[in-house]
Amino acid sequence: MQFNNKQPIYMQIIEYIIIDIINGKYIDNNKLPSVREIALALQVNPNTIQKAYTELESLDIIYTKRNSGSFVKDDNNLINKLKKELLDNKTKEYLDYMEKLGINKEEIINYIKEM
């Protein structure tokens, strides 16, 4: 995985994990890789992963069972909720920006179609 410098690594990892969750990567038993495992895989310090996990826990997306690992919340709608939330936020953000540029919805749609 490549990290950019514009965002802290732990933030990029958070996004990365959320997208994995949405794409059903941990759907088996909901278990996420251990802190150390993922740290090794991504070649970052375990503390950085820890921070990402802690953040994901406070976002109510995963939970941690003491000494047995971290798990995706067992909420059937979680994936849909996350997806909807991201879709909403990112689209809103995008449209707001376009509005500031004085570009209206029709123009945007045409532009997207052409891409």
Site for DNA in 11-50 (CB under 7 A): 11, 32, 34-37, 44-48, 50
CB 54, min distance to a copy of itself, A = 10
- Regarding 108 and contact with DNA (CB under 7 A), the answer is no
Could you tell me the CA-to-CA distances from 94 to 8, 24, 36, 66, 82 in Å, in that order? 22, 26, 36, 40, 18
Which of the ranges 3-11, 33-41, 70-78 carries the binding residues for a copy of itself, by CB under 8 A?
A: 3-11
Residues 35, 14, 95, CA angle at the centre, nearest 5°?
A: 175
Contacts for 18 with CB less than 8 Å, ≥ 6 apart: 56, 61, 82, 86
**Which of 2, 29, 58, 67 touches DNA by CB under 7 A?**
67
Query: Cα(60)–Cα(44) distance, rounded to whole angstroms?
Result: 24
Binding interface with a copy of itself (CB under 8 A): 5, 8-9, 19, 22-23, 58, 64, 66, 83, 86-87, 90-92, 94-95, 97-98, 100-103, 105, 108-109, 111-113, 115
